[in-house]
Every structure is written in C-alpha cells, then in structure tokens.
Structure 1
C-alpha cells in the first residue's frame, strides 16, 4: 500500500464516516428499551440482548465525541442521549456504584465488582454533558469520577477474591485509565485537582510499572513497585502498555514535556520489539517476561484493540518526535491490521484472530467489543495523519 499521507488520512476518515459509524447507527440502538445492543454478528444481527456497562458508556462517549468534534448532527446527539438516559436510570446501585451488566430492560445482572464501569461512566457523561449542555449529566460525571478516585487503591472493593496480605499486587490498568480519564474530564475539574491526579498517574506508571532494566511495562507490581515471580507478577500485556503510553504522551504534550514524550516512545518501541510475533506477524495478547507459559490460554491470539491502539500511539509518537522508527512500525502494524481485522464485505472490524491471523470469531460486537476502539482509533489516526502532513 502506498503510504501517502493524504491517502492514508482519507482511508481512515472514509472508513470511520462511511463504514463504522453507520454500522453502529443502523444495528446497535435499542429504541424499545433504551441503551444499545453490543452483541452483533458479522452482518449486524443481534445475538444477545444483555447490556454491558463498559460498552454502554463507551458508546455514549463515542457518539458525544462525534457530535462535539466532527459535526453537530442531531442524530448523533439523539443516540448519545438515548444511552445516557438509560444509564442514568438503570446503571448504578443505591450507593452510586456502576454495575457491570444489565438485562435488556435495565435490570441488574452483575454486581459493580470493579471500578472500570465508573471510569467509563465518568468519560461518557462528561462528553455527553459537553454535547448536550445538560447540568444533570455533569453531576453524574463528577460523581462517577470521584467514585474512581475513592476506589482506586482497592478497585474491586468487597468483590476482590484475593486473600488479603499474602500476595499484594496493584495493576497498571487503574493509573493508566485515570491518566486518560482525567484529561477527558479537564473541563469539569479544578486546575489543582487535575494536575494532582495527572502527577500521580504519570509517576506511578513510569516509576512503578515501567521496568528500568527491560524498558517494558509490567501489568502488575507490588505496592512499592517491585516484581513477584508468579503468573501475575511476570505478566506483560503489550496492548495495555502501548495504550498507556499514548495516554501519557497526551499529558506530556499538554505540558511540553519532551523528556516524557521520548521516554514513552522508547517504551512503545521496546514493547513492540518484545511483543511482535516474528513468525506470523501481529502483536501477542499476553506474554510472560521470562518466557514461561502464560496462564491466559488466549495469550497468542491477535486482538483488534491491541493493534488499533498501537496505530494511534505510533502516529502520536511520530508527530511529536519525527522518529523514523515510529513510522516504520506504523507501516507494519497498519498493513497487518487492515489485512486481518477490516471486514470489506459487511463493514466494521473483526475482533479476534488466532496466532496465524485467521478470524476465529466473526462477531462485530460482544461482551468486550463495542462501539469504541475501532471508531476512536480511526478518528484519532485520521487526525494525526492530517497533522502529519505538516511535516512532509
């Protein structure tokens, strides 16, 4: 493929506007009960009507972003409102914690067993409030955000299965998502609160989870940032690490911190060197730092979100540093992603391939895949490719 920047920008733009957004507009909205269907087969048919809070909130966020950043289309705001009102009515327990799953009618199915539902609620209602001007949505966003801050040191709360005190580990997922979430919330937060949370997340990710010896990000470390020789302690999640680095690049760019930008780019390149499948191509899902068998049996699958977040990170890194390694890796990951995940017949992208790159589930949405990683990455890559034309 010719890596001409205007042509690439057009590819990402057209795929988003003419392919991916229409897929979700047409197939996902539950006009009868509210919210969205996320369990969609290859053609967009609904195969399960349960509603997963992560994906419900992510779709509210996504259509609010379309309205705020692309075009103030009333249809997009209507779809965002349709999800926001359903979630505001059904999404939380009596203590204000967000459930994990509801049935179609909005009755709770799965308890609020971790804090990530609250994270995505804060993101969603922040952007919906910006789009709609609804003051109640601001209140929901701030309540969810402060829930996250309150629970960040014990994100599963009473639902934590680990026996206390024997093997204490913290996960990178919490500070990495707080980094992105806090930037999403910047218009609702005081400057002091914003900078305090950003300082903490950057420090924790880059000092506790980033290993100075290998240049890789560990998924779990002890509370003081040291490593444990066990399944969880050896775990590397390449997609998470790379996604975390573009979150931190956004913070660094906001602060004109070139040292942090370059440190993040170095980390992305280290992860790709470690996590790229040199035989079949693509990025592994899970890896063990010592090369032992991972406990996740799906460790060698190739997932859509891992590759899409990598494309975003590489373009951001290239535009901020002009390092040729970023562009070389972008070309490689771009070719792999469009070859294996893009569905040229029915639209949207497949989510799950085996190690060889063959599609193993032809769903377009499910319990974990919804209207989020594909459209977000297409939009961000399109914007970065437009920006990149300034450097040619």
Structure 2
C-alpha cells in the first residue's frame, strides 16, 4: 500500500503543477488569473487575491525544492515578481488583500492570514533561490505582524486592520466566518508561516513566538476533551460557538508537531505527538463510508454540512500519514489511502484537470472555482509532496 500510494501521489503532483502552469498564467496583464471556473475558463476581469498568489509562490518554490524541475522555478519566479510588484504595501507594510485584474490595489485591508501566507511563501522561495531580498521581505512582514497584530496583554494575534493598521469593524476572513477578534485559522497559519521562516532565520525571539503559539493551541484552542479545535474567540480567549471543522482538525494535527520539531522543543514534541493522535482520532468522526471527509459539524443541532470540499481531503492524507508514522499499528495508513481514493474517484477532473472544489451529499459536483481567491494549488500539491517525503 505504501509504494502504491507514494507513486500515485507523486504522479498526481505533476498533474497538478502542469495544470497551473498551463491554465492560470495571465499573459496580458501579468501574474495569474484571479479566477477559473470548473471548465478552466478564466475570468479575465476577476480580482487577484494575495492568498492565491502567495500560495502559488509557495507551491512552486516547494515543488522545485523537491523535484528540481526548472519549470517550477520559472513559475516561482513569476509568482514572486508579481507579488513583490503588486501585493506588497511599501508605504505601510503588510500586503493588500486583493488587487484588480490590472494589478492595482483593490481591497487594501491588512488581513493577518494573508500576510502569514506571504511570509510562508517568501521563506520557501528563499530556500530555493537564496535571494537575500526574499528573506528580507519575509522578515519585514514578520516584524509588521509583531508590531501591529500581536496582543501583548492576552497573547495571540488580532485578525485584521485597515491599510494603515487601524481598528477594523469587520475582521472576518470570509463571509461564512464569525466576526471575532481572534480565530484558530489565522493562528494556525501564523504558526505555519513562522515555522517556515525559522528554518531560514533561526532567531531567538521568533523561536519564542512559535513556542507561545504552540502553547496557545495546547492550552486554549484545542478542546482537550474532544480533540477538536475551537474556532473563534474573543480578545480574552473566550470561546465563541462550537462549530467543528474536520479539515482544520487534521491539518493542525501535523502542523503543530512539525513546528515543535523544527524548534526542537522536546516537551512540546511529546505533547504534540499525543495531540496529533487524539486529533486524528477525533477527525475520524467526520469520515463517510466512501473515505471522504465531511466539511463541518454543528454539535448543538447535530447538523453535518453535507459537502466534501477538496482541501480537507488533502489534509486528511497528510494528517493520517503523520498519525501512521506515530502509531504504525493503527488504521491510519488505510485512512490516508482511502482519502486519496475519494479524491481520485470523486474530485479529480478527468476532462479539464485539477480537483473540483467539492461534491454535495449526492456526489454531484459543486459549481465553485477551479482556481480563485481560495481555490489554490497549496493543499493539493502539499499533500502530494508530504506523502512522497513521508512514504
């Protein structure tokens, strides 16, 4: 099973990378299209998002690091050039949330989540190019978050600000999110970004920031009873709501352990290993009989959102492989294989390439972006790369 899964995901990685190289480049206005539909037809006037562009930069940098395929390096350079010229706010620091199709600033708010992905991407790009400017950009963005977003009183990071880093009434990352000052999702990706930055800039204060984020997850964000993550919080870390996100549970399970391992904190490594297994076990509550992972669960109403999105399936591959490495006698390797089979059978677009956004309860395809503000190569390609390395 191991070799079969490794070979399948190695092959899938190249299919995904080829899709983005072939279909997403905006040759008229530069960079990449802001949106493609299910048939891979671009909306040439669509806004271009910082998250999408940072994730393209990270994906092709990481892919080059793994494969040494020069076409990946060419894509990474294209992504870096566009991001530097159009998304970095040279006047106030941070990055714009979106630019228009011509590359002019559109939504200029400072969403910490997006800035975290820029740090994550530039750190990866530095690994493959050793361009000092790339590391300087990553460090500068990190300093902006520490200066403006860090909460010295209660710990953690606030969600969003105006372009000038002033308070923002609506701090939501997306329309479906609760409008709270602190969220699990942003903290998870700040942790991910800081961890990657530490691999190229092992600075002592950054190490403490990573340690503090891991303690926040262990002490405030993970429900120690259930193994699920709390998602939304007040400024003082009061839990708001009880929604369960299975995809985030399994994604966090391996990212937390990775962070503890990279900063070489033995106490946190031990804690995060136990947490990873508990969270992987909790995630299994959201598995359907076909191997797919349901999106969300609302415990009070006992209501499962009857959709299976692409990214939780990708994270399930990595999270279950991580759990298998920690506990080989368990059923986690089979769970990872089942996740891939679900993707292969239900989400892979055999006509146009890449993965669909998701399927409904009856397995009908969701009519959402094939590429867009949120639909990026990051989860799918990363799952393939992690599987190749772990297997």
Q: CA deviation at 1:329?
A: 2.3
Q: CA deviation at 1:303?
A: 0.4
Q: Give structure 1 regions of 4+ aligned residues with deviation exceeding 6 angstroms.
A: none
What is the aligned partner in structure 2 of residue 276 from structure 1?
A: 287
Greater alpha carbon shift after TM alignment, 4-13 vs 210-219: 210-219
> Are 1:37 and 2:33 an aligned pair?
yes
What is the aligned partner in structure 1 of residue 298 from structure 2?
A: 288
> Are 1:160 and 2:169 an aligned pair?
yes
Structure 1: unaligned runs, 5 residues or longer: 386-392
What is the aligned partner in structure 1 of residue 208 from structure 2?
A: 196
Structure 2: unaligned runs, 5 residues or longer: 151-156, 162-166, 172-178
Q: CA deviation at 1:24?
A: 0.8
Structure-2 change in CA distance of 1:364 and 1:250 (3 Å): same
TM-score (normalised: structure 2): 0.86
> Are 1:221 and 2:269 an aligned pair?
no
Q: CA deviation at 1:133?
A: 2.6
For 1:71-82, what aligned pairs fall within 5 Å after superposition? Answer: 71=68, 73=70, 75-82=71-78
For 1:353-368, what aligned pairs fall within 5 Å after superposition? Answer: 353-361=359-367, 363-368=369-374
What is the aligned partner in structure 2 of residue 111 from structure 1?
A: 108
What is the aligned partner in structure 2 of residue 390 from structure 1?
A: none
SS of 2:366's partner is: strand
> Are 1:301 and 2:307 an aligned pair?
yes
Structure-2 change in CA distance of 1:262 and 1:33 (3 Å): same
Distance 1:32 1:127 in 2: 27
How well do the aligned residues superpose, as a CA RMSD in angstroms?
A: 2.4
Structure-2 change in CA distance of 1:375 and 1:285 (3 Å): same
Structure-2 change in CA distance of 1:168 and 1:9 (3 Å): closer
Say if 1:114 and 1:159, in contact at 8 Å, map to a contact too.
no
SS of 2:111's partner is: coil
SS of 1:126's partner is: helix
For 1:1-392, what aligned pairs fall within 5 Å after superposition? Answer: 4-17=1-14, 19-48=15-44, 49-71=46-68, 73=70, 75-93=71-89, 94-150=91-147, 151-152=149-150, 153-157=157-161, 158-161=167-170, 170-223=182-235, 225-228=237-240, 233-254=241-262, 255=264, 257-273=269-285, 275-277=286-288, 282-291=292-301, 299-361=305-367, 363-385=369-391
What is the aligned partner in structure 2 of residue 388 from structure 1?
A: none
Q: CA deviation at 1:7?
A: 1.7
TM-score (normalised: structure 1): 0.86
Q: CA deviation at 1:293?
A: 5.5
Structure-2 change in CA distance of 1:287 and 1:169 (3 Å): farther
Q: CA deviation at 1:266?
A: 1.1
Say if 1:63 and 1:77, in contact at 8 Å, map to a contact too.
yes
Structure-2 change in CA distance of 1:321 and 1:259 (3 Å): farther
Distance 2:388 2:180 in 1: 41
Any idea what the Cα deviations from partners look like across 1:242-297, whole Å, max 9, x if unmatched?
11111012134443523421221111211322x2346x763222222323568xxx
Distance 1:52 1:241 in 2: 25
Say if 2:159 and 2:183, in contact at 8 Å, map to a contact too.
no
